[in-house]
Amino acid sequence: MKRIIGVLIWTLLFISLGIYSENKIYDFTNKFKSEIELIQKNIEDDNLEKVSNDIKKWSKSWHKEKEIWYKIVNHEYFDDICLSLNIIEQSIKYDDKLNALEQVETIKMLLNNILESEKCDLNHIF
């Protein structure tokens, strides 16, 4: 009987931590997704000076907060986002809106991939 209770406690703890981490990752990705969508709007409106400042702020915030998740989540997505950020910065510097918008879409897709890869559902268990 003690073993069954122990297994149930560990199972509930494991499920609770999974749900908690999924909620935190959801908050993390949505925060950065909403910020990158504002940057996208400024690129489309040809407000490139504001975009340059926003990208620097976004990048600084991203590098600070990604360190928490880098050890837990598949870090390949984080590396790809950093690469896209560098490309956006250079695209804005040389007034290449099309490439910058392409990289913004890449970042949004990668943020969705981070969220999707950490979901606690039956598709990711089996």
pLDDT in tens, the chain (126 residues): 888 999 999 999 988 888 888 899 999 999 999 999 999 999 999 888 898 899 999 989 988 988 888 778 878 899 999 999 999 999 998 989 999 999 999 999 999 998 888 776 666 665
**Which pLDDT score, from 0 to 100, does residue 82 have?**
92
Token couple for 107: 């970042």
**Which pLDDT score, from 0 to 100, does residue 123 have?**
67
Cα 62–chain centre separation: 8
Q: State the SS3 of 60-117.
A: HHHHHHHHHHHCCCCHHHHHHHHHHHHHHHHHHHCCCHHHHHHHHHHHHHHHHHHHHH
Q: Are 18 and 125 in contact (CB under 8 A)?
A: no
For every residue of 5-45, DSSP letters joined together read: HHHHHHHHHHHHHHHHHHHHHHHHHHHHHHHHHHHHHHHHT
pTM of the full structure: 0.84
Q: What CA–CA distance (Å, rounded) separates 102 from 115?
A: 20
**Which pLDDT score, from 0 to 100, does residue 10 have?**
94
Q: What CA–CA distance (Å, rounded) separates 88 from 84?
A: 6
